[in-house]
Structure 1
Amino acid sequence: MINFYPGPSKVYPDVRNYLVDAYDEGFLSTPHRGDQFVQLSRELVGLIKRRLNIPQDYYIFFASSATECWEILVQSLTKNKSYHIYNGSFGEKWLQYAQKLRPKSEGYAFDLNSPMPVHELQVSPDTELICFTQNETSNGTQVTPTCILNLHNRFRDTLIAVDATSSMAGLNLKMIKADIWFASVQKCFGLPAGLAVMACSPRAIFRAKQMGERAHYNSMVSMYEKMLNYQTTHTPNVLNLYLMKRVLEERPFIKTIDGELTARAQDLYAFFAQFTDIQLLVENEEVRSKTVLALQGSEKVVDELKKRALHHNIRLGNGYGPWSRNTFRIANFPAILDEEYEELKRFFLHYYA
């Protein structure tokens, strides 16, 4: 089965061998306070920073998922409210979850074909955290580096947090332009689900220390104190951490991967533009995601396409949220091979022959 689902998506084939190595090397039963784990954690933090071009003074933390990161950030960095900018389902869910913990949290919705309207944002002085999703998996849009830079320049005194679940480890993100970046690993990392990576600036850690919130096992100040010794507050997903280390050791640096994914995205968008009864959901090329393509058609066309693809051992991603019935999505992640996209093209050409 060729898997183009945008998460959980295809894992790197070498993961199969790494699983055996993890067993043989004792990592499946190693104490998470012991020397073997600490050495793994130390090496992995260094790898993540080097391979993903993360500033050296940023702190790396591990959580169970990007959704847990939403909770950590709201609990540990806000007393009053956060401000959420979104154009799709995952950005909106982040807002809704924040409002359960901090009812005063506010949101600003913008159109999926428009760049983030940074000049229109009305962020009140008592806002402690500005949040957005860099790559909106639900509709195949992205917030461009220019918009992130403009947001950084306009709100320099407010912490900025970015959900980069469908782009971290796939795109060369300019992480110095925001204070917190986080992602689950079942997308561009090419790993099994159940782990998230979060990178935090010194400003974010300073704010966490100021608040001193310690009421939860995943409070950021507690996570920070444990990671000073390359440990976690909880028993972590040691297997996935081991797999990440092995995968990152073999992968190119993020600048190379970014170039490859960008070129492949351009090729795929040009390919799908030729068909008449399916169209690209996002009309504005500037805001189209490089890692998740969203295509739309009638419910009947989309349903039949997905069924026929499965018959040919090709899994297309379902639509999501408001677009669940009339769209399908295609992941453009590093673990998926060029030959597999050629097979995808052959399927569509045959289907529309």
Structure 2
Amino acid sequence: MLMTPGPTAVPEPVRDAMSHELINPDVESEFDELYDRVCEKLSDVYGTDDQVIVTGGEGILGLESAVACLVDEDTDVLCLSNGLYGDGFADFVESYGGNATVVGTDYDTELALSELDDELAAGDYDVATLVHCETPTGVLNDIEPVLERLHDHGAVTILDAVSSLGGVPVPTENVDVCLGASQKCFSAPPGLATASVSERAWERMEAIDPESLYTNFLPWRDTSAEFPYTHLSTNVVALDVALDRILDEGLDTVYERHRSAASRCRERGSDIGLELFAGPERSSPTVSAFHVPGRAADLQAALDEQYDITLATGLGPLADDVIRVGHMGHQADTELVERTMDALAETV
């Protein structure tokens, strides 16, 4: 039983859709219609009027592409971070020749608003990056006040919402590029990156004119004549069905299902003496990261061997200090959570 915070388990109707006869995305108009339909459904999930695109590649491709398209030599970029992926944005910025200024805090604390205000008062930033849900620690950031400040400053904003989109309401009003991925709350197979792109972001991309093909969003602005490369048509078919499942259930119901699964997971964790890495008030409804210093790998292995349940450990410096239960997408189910926590209780 897969209970990781992405890739998530793929439900049977989505798997069945992938067995249908292949659509050739290069020559069949059926794929054009499919792609447009998927983008319209994604717009509903995003809750935005901005254009939404779907590119072939895992979610990290979306993060790098956003930076590649909006950052060039000597671009000043403000990177807000309280986690591994927030730090990673700064690495992308530097690799594309930009100047990254990181406003960072400890991984178990909130984004630093006072330091952000100081930086915005002292500098002129063209682009800013931030993360909604830091999957390695389960932290869900309160990003609306941050986005308001960045909007007033005039910075083009890039938001990593990969592990929150489709499971948690994502505030997109002041976001210029909002990034998602198929393998998280959508519960579709890995392989697709999604992005909503504002008109202001498109204009900046056109001014920069990125040279790359695969990390360039610009060719996706108008796909009426052709796609930039052969799309992953089978993955797009799967995402279409996965989105239908979300929209048919209703977004409010989906969000409540995630909250209920998270609440039950944490109640059970507390019963067996497990504490959340960042505390309940800052933890995402999509993933529970329990603090188990030095024990994560052993717990993961025992659950796999004895119960055939797969959890995730932490990443980076917290690799063996955090065990993560992914109650996102298809896995945001209290019955699955109960089975998982029964096994974890016995293992602990």
Shift of 1:215: 4.4
**1:118 corresponds to 2:113:** yes
Q: Which runs of 5+ in 1 are unaligned?
A: none
Q: Determine whether 1:282 maps to 2:308.
A: no
Structure 1: how far apart are the matches of 2:313 and 2:137? 11
Distance in structure 2 (CA, Å) of the matches to 1:328 and 1:246 = 31
Comparing 74-83 and 152-161, the one that deviates more: 74-83
2:185 paired with 1:188: yes
Maintained 8 Å contact 1:63/1:198: no
1:346 aligns with 2:336: no
Q: Which residue of 1 aligns with 2:13?
A: 14
58-67 vs 158-167, greater mean Cα deviation: 58-67
Task: Determine if contact 2:176/2:198 at 8 Å carries over to the other structure.
Answer: yes
Letter in 2 for 1:333: M
The corresponding residue for 2:58 is 65
Q: Secondary structure at the match of 1:213?
A: coil
Note if contact 2:17-2:241 (Cα within 8 Å) is conserved in structure 1.
yes
Q: Quick one: structure 1 residues 230 and 67, their matched pair in 2 at CA, closer, same or farther if it must change by over 3 Å?
A: farther
Once the two structures are superposed, residues 221-260 of structure 1 have per-residue CA deviations (whole angstroms, 9 ceiling, x without a partner) of 222133xx28531212111111111121232232221111
Select 1:100's aligned residue among 80, 95, 102. Answer: 95
Length-normalised TM-score, structure 1: 0.88
Residue identity in the other structure for 1:233: P
2:317 maps to amino acid: P
Once the 2 structures are TM-superposed, how far is the Cα of residue 292 of structure 1 from its aligned partner? 1.5
Q: CA separation in 2, counterparts of 1:326 and 1:102? A: 34
Identity %: 19
What is the deviation of 1:293?
1.1
Alignment of 1:298-313 (within 5 A): 298-299=293-294, 301-310=295-304, 311-313=306-308
Pair 298,291 (structure 1): closer, same or farther in 2 beyond 3 Å: same
Report the equivalent of 2:26. 32
The amino acid that maps onto 1:279 is E
Alpha-carbon offset, residue 126 of structure 1: 3.9
User: Does the 8 Å CA contact 2:5/2:325 hold for their aligned counterparts?
Assistant: yes
User: Aligned partners of 1:312, 1:175: CA distance in 2, in Å?
Assistant: 40
Amino acid at match of 2:260: A
**Superposed, which structure 2 residues align to 1:1-353 within 5 Å?**
2-20=1-19, 22-23=20-21, 26-27=22-23, 30-50=24-44, 52-79=45-72, 80-121=75-116, 122-123=119-120, 125-144=123-142, 148-156=143-151, 157-226=154-223, 229=224, 231-251=226-246, 252-276=249-273, 278-283=274-279, 285-299=280-294, 301-310=295-304, 311-336=306-331, 337-351=333-347
Question: In 2, are the aligned partners of 1:77 and 1:129 still within 8 Å (CA)?
Answer: yes
Structure 2 unmatched runs, 5+: none
Distance 2:64 2:296 in 1: 35
